[in-house]
Amino acid sequence: MIVNISMLADSAGGPFSLFTLFGRLHPLVLHVPIGAVLALAVVELLTWFAGFEESRRPHGMLAWLAAVSAWISVSTGLVMHANGTYDPDDALPHRNLAIACSIMITLAAFANCRSNYGKRAGMLWIYRILLFAGIAAMIPAGHLGATMTHGEGYLMGFSPGAASKPESNSSASVESAPADAADGAFSTIILPILRAKCLTCHGEDQRKGKLSLESVESIRAGGKSGPAIDREKPADSLILERIHRDLEEKGHMPPRSKTQLLESEIASIDAWVKTGAAPNAGSLQLNGGADSKPAAPDTTESHPARARVDDGAFRALRDALVHVQPVKQGSELLWMDFAAPAARLGENEILQLLKPVAGDVGDLALNRSKITDEGMASIAAFPRLRRLELRSTAVGDAGIDKLKNHPSLEELILTQTKTTDASVDSILTIPKLAKVYVWGSGLTPEGLARLRAGKSGLQVDAGDAPAAAVVKVEDPIKLSGDAPLPGAQTANAAPANLKPINSVCPVTGKPLNPAYQIVFEGKVIGFCCPNCPSKFWENPAEFKAKIPQ
């Protein structure tokens, strides 16, 4: 049944369809059967103990109202469950108890009808037993629903003991410093993201799946599914696995009915977890990797570069969510990627972070950052820089001019920058440059031609595919059938002169209409109307004598 509803939800137009709107009515309609059942219970108790037996007709009407509204509530809940609003592990017990309650109330309504307004004592007792059995199922179903919606401590959250706990105050906890106050990246970058997208379900008061994301310690502790952060392999952390799942996949977070994380927010959380959230990670997680740059480090093995650079520099990079790792296995050079904080950091902040490690930077990615021509003077001073990415930055000709004669630069990415043909001469002075990417920049076809011709072996990618080389020429056509060669005239082929040989229609003897002609035995024959050609073809011999030979 759930599978069918899920398929219907998908076909109804996605998470913002009318079908989804129906599911979201669940918190509203579920109060109708609850009120009706409780009213029935009160009436039955008064009737039982106070002798209110004048008329049982209202009992039946109220019982059917409770039964019908219970199934409507169940239907909206099933739609909400199919739309992925709540974790299936939490929703299934609530769903099953709600269905059991609805069955009991429906059977009670039938029993009340069969009791003939209370005249059949046996059916009346069955009605009462079923009614109170339905109430017995309704209480835990309601408790589970409230727990999913409001958190584990909702029912007893009003008690003085609970109120005295400082961690139960969500707003105070959010505004105060997290458990890891030294981790500035969490309080300044990660916590605002979680507050906007996650804490409504995973705060201190409401812990869906028993998970709170309100502090570093609570994130590390995790919930029912285990620790949210893998202390040994941060890249395999559950929190990253959930936010990277496909939107339609079970367990994706946030649920597809909620506001989703932006790509930049996912990148920030990803970088934070991989570079500092795991307590075993050290101040910088460096690992050996393939030349293709592995997605994330998975070991805390030290690196020679760390012996020459103060740990504080790496800690600052980590706190700013800059991704740092060796460019390849065993290399002393580092790859630094500013993708996560690119929109947040100013040029001066970027340069201050890079200054202590300038001698160890091999690959530097500043895509979409706020680096400018002025800042390029500092970047150009990095002595061992091999690869520089400046895509979608404000860097122009003046900035590229500062890279003249750089001793180690091998690859330069200038896509979607402000560089023009004036940068060609500067680029050609870089002795080891082997690749340059310039599509989307201001270089003209003339500038590209000059760049390609100016340095032997330089690969220039401008997004223009080279002319395709001839792979193979098709063999001459060989005819294998009896059809005549092209240009040859068959017996029934139309002659070059399309003037009819007859002057009157051979079928009716009327004057010819130039619109109706056929080719017969290599001769053009004219007719007076569209019906005559078909009559002629039925028996040409009958009309052949009327055609000039």
The DSSP string of 211-258 is ---SSHHHHHH-BTTB-SS-SS-GGG-HHHHHHHS-TTSTT-SS-TTS
SS3 of residue 90 by DSSP: helix
Q: Give the per-residue pLDDT at 63.
A: 80
Band (pLDDT 50/70/90 cuts) for residue 23 is low
Q: At what angle do helices 347-354 and 311-319 cross, to 10 degrees?
A: 150
Q: Give the per-residue pLDDT at 403.
A: 93
Q: Give the per-residue pLDDT at 480.
A: 62
Give residues with Cβ within 8 angstroms of 408, minimum separation 6.
383, 384, 385, 386, 432
The DSSP string of 357-369 is GGGGEEEEE-TTS
Give residues with Cβ within 8 angstroms of 93, minimum separation 6.
144
In total, the chain counts a number of residues equal to 549
> Which pLDDT tens digit goes with each residue over 32-79?
888 888 887 887 777 776 665 555 667 777 888 888 888 888 888 777
> Which pLDDT tens digit goes with each residue over 208-237?
778 888 888 888 888 888 888 887 788 888
> Which pLDDT tens digit goes with each residue over 398-438?
999 999 999 899 999 999 999 999 999 999 999 999 999 99
Which among 163, 109, 167, 103 is positioned nearest to 138, based on CA atoms?
103
Q: Give the per-residue pLDDT at 29.
A: 76
* Ranges assigned E (strand) in 317-369: 323-326, 334-337, 361-365
> Which contacts (CB < 8 Å, 24+ apart) does range 184-191 have?
184/319, 185/272, 185/276, 185/318, 185/319, 185/320, 185/321, 186/216, 186/272, 186/277, 189/268, 189/272, 189/321, 189/341, 189/344, 190/268, 190/269, 190/272
> Which pLDDT tens digit goes with each residue over 314-362?
888 888 889 888 888 777 888 999 988 888 899 999 999 998 888 889 9
Token pair belonging to 358: 């300038």
Which among 96, 97, 94, 211 is positioned nearest to 152, based on CA atoms?
211
Q: Give, as one character, the DSSP assignment of residue 528.
A: S
Domain boundaries, given as residue ranges, for the chain: 2-157, 194-261, 279-461, 486-549
Fold of 279-461: 3.80.10
> Which pLDDT tens digit goes with each residue over 256-312?
767 888 887 888 888 888 765 544 433 333 333 333 333 333 333 334 444 445 567
Residues 81/257, Cβ–Cβ less than 8 Å: no
Band (pLDDT 50/70/90 cuts) for residue 468 is low
